[in-house]
Amino acid sequence: MQIKKGSTRIVILLGNYAYKFTRIRLLRTAVWALYRLAFRDQRELFRSKFGKNIFVGLCKHLFIGVQQNRTEYAYYQETRDCRVMPTHRILFGGILIIQTRGVAINRKTLIQNCPFEDTITGNPDLDLHQAKQYCLCQDGKVRAVDYGKRNTVVALRKTLETPKTRPLE
């Protein structure tokens, strides 16, 4: 068994599966909130991202791992995108998801086998620019394991291959 720590999830690698648990980020949220409240431009940024209600904003930040788990599950179940690691199950409303376990890769392997175009990997906001966000899947493909951000799945959807339409007879 191996345990990996991300900023929003704790991942337990066991057998053929990765069990991704939400982290509850109390300290990080407290520091984050103080920083946001101290500076006017940061307050504006906060409002544009989370709306006017600071309590809702704090809860979203605190449980952002739940949202990322839900997004990964929903995206994979809907699209079956073969560029991302399959997410099979969601439990406890998103506190836990179960993904196929992959093998970590280095930057060189990623560059040689990256499933995405530069428009995706070149955008640091999408979380798909580092080797740690990918793994080698059991089918031999390099796939993204960290695709839970909302803007990430928006970008992935835009680059999904559209099914070929049947030629007219």
User: Where along the sequence are the contacts to ligand ATP (CB under 6 A)?
Assistant: 4, 6-9, 11, 13, 18, 20, 68, 85, 99-102, 104, 127, 132-133, 135, 145-146
Six token digits for residue 17: 């599966």
Six token digits for residue 21: 């648990």
CB neighbours of residue 164 within 10 Å: 6
CB-based closest residue to ligand ATP: 6
Interaction mask 75-114, Mg ion, x per CB under 5 A: ----------------------------------------
Looking at residues 117 to 136 of the shown chain, list those that interact with Mg ion (rule: CB under 5 A). 127
CB-based closest residue to Mg ion: 146
Rounded to whole angstroms, how far apart are CA atoms 29 and 104? 29
Rounded to the nearest whole angstrom, what is the least distance from the CB of residue 94 to ligand ATP in the complex? 13
Q: Please pick, from the candidates 110, 146, 152, 156, the single residue that binds Mg ion as defined by CB under 5 A.
A: 146
Considering CB distances under 5 to 8 angstroms, the limit depending on partner class, which of ligand ATP, Mg ion, none binds residue 85? Answer: ligand ATP
User: Does 72 engage in binding with Mg ion (CB under 5 A)?
Assistant: no
Q: Which is nearer to ligand ATP, 60 or 132 (CB)?
A: 132
- Closest CA relative to residue 19, chosen from 84, 99, 77: 99
Residue span binding Mg ion (CB under 5 A) among the ranges 16-24, 47-55, 113-121, 138-146: 138-146
What distances in angstroms separate CA 160 from CA 6, 30, 55, 78, 115, one per listed residue?
26, 38, 36, 12, 11
Rounded to the nearest whole angstrom, what is the least distance from the CB of residue 150 to Mg ion in the complex? 12
What distances in angstroms separate CA 88 from CA 20, 66, 99, 132, one per listed residue?
11, 16, 6, 21
Rounded to whole angstroms, how far apart are CA atoms 11 and 138? 18
Binding positions for Mg ion, rule: CB under 5 A: 127, 146
